[in-house]
Structure 1
Amino acid sequence: TLAIWSVYLLNWVAWFMLLSWLPTVLKAAGLPADQAPMGTFTVNLVFIVCAFPLSYLMPRVSTRTLLIAMFALGIAVSLGLGYAGTDWTLVFILIGAAGLGIGGQQLALNYLVIGAYPTALRATATGWSIGVGRAGAIIGSAIGGSFLGWFGPSGFFMVLAVPLAGALLAVLAVDNKSSQPAPGELSRAH
């Protein structure tokens, strides 16, 4: 339970820190103010587009493996954004990749709960996990400006790797057997 709550908390810290502060960070990095909102559009567009293949994959592959891959991608994207500077083409490609590597976990996290708890506890476990995640959303939104002020745009992006790495470690702490629903389990639960 603590590992799953940590995954939710830390992923939501990173995701909402990115979403809440992205236009401001892009303006601080030198992108014209009228173009900065395109960062939010880009990350959300890729998030939505990735929802379709993820919805196909999630019941068919190990949720744990999928989350590990997405967190690794998120860490790489965060570090890449930290080094991209004002190469706006690269910045926007990486921002798009953040839609999967930082935000895509939002779609897969509930599958982690499904595999970890018996049917009778899933609704409660999901509710508590989402509640802990919401605390992470508040924290991420609240601390983003401080990191931007302390470390500038490059440092802001690199800091995103810290909660993502913590979430990755928490996923690794979740029992591998519990991270995939048994065949037919989803249909029996509904």
Structure 2
Amino acid sequence: MRFEADSRSLRPLFAPPCFWDKFEIIRHRIMKRRILFSPLVLLACTKLGSTAPTHCLQGCTCDRTSESPTIICHDANMTHFPLPITNPKTSFNFLQLTCNDIRTVPDLDLIMQSFPDLHGIDFQGNPHLNCTSLEQFARKLAILSDCHSSEKLSCQKTPTPASKSKNSASKFCDGHCQSAKKMGDLWKDIKQFTKKFNVKQVLNDFFDYK
């Protein structure tokens, strides 16, 4: 059985009454520090836990640990494009939908409502995807797909050790890093194009006005 001493019991029994107020002040400061310490510890634990990958969509993992936060829905048995409109997933730049059976893609406006900070989507490994539905993303989002690629993504369920090491060194690299890197490069090209286009448009407007 444990016995915890009350802080008031620390008051010297033979101390003059004139010193009792000082002991009460010290006890109050000790209790105040205990109260402040608990929320700080809880906040620190929350910050540490928020960096670990978490489940955010059914069958998907939200990874905030990389430079480009990604929602990974690789091989999630999806037949429809995920649209969490009622609970938008903010602060995620890329959406990896590789190795599913997604066939149609919703309008860009609906996608951006669900993922407001989205920069790119990886559709590789969706063999029945309607490629014409990807035309709406031109110069707006970075897109990876097998539509016009001679090397289609292999979605083996149980890869051999040799193929597994090959995949880890090329396309997937721990699941999604190579995919995110490719989309990141495409996104930079889009931003650069948009910047040049805007400058050109401003110059045209200026000379038209003159």
Query: Shorter-chain TM-score: what band?
Result: under 0.3
Question: More strand by proportion, 1 or 2?
Answer: 2
TM-score norm. by structure 2 comes to 0.26
* TM score, norm. by length of structure 1: 0.28
Structure with greater helix percent: 1
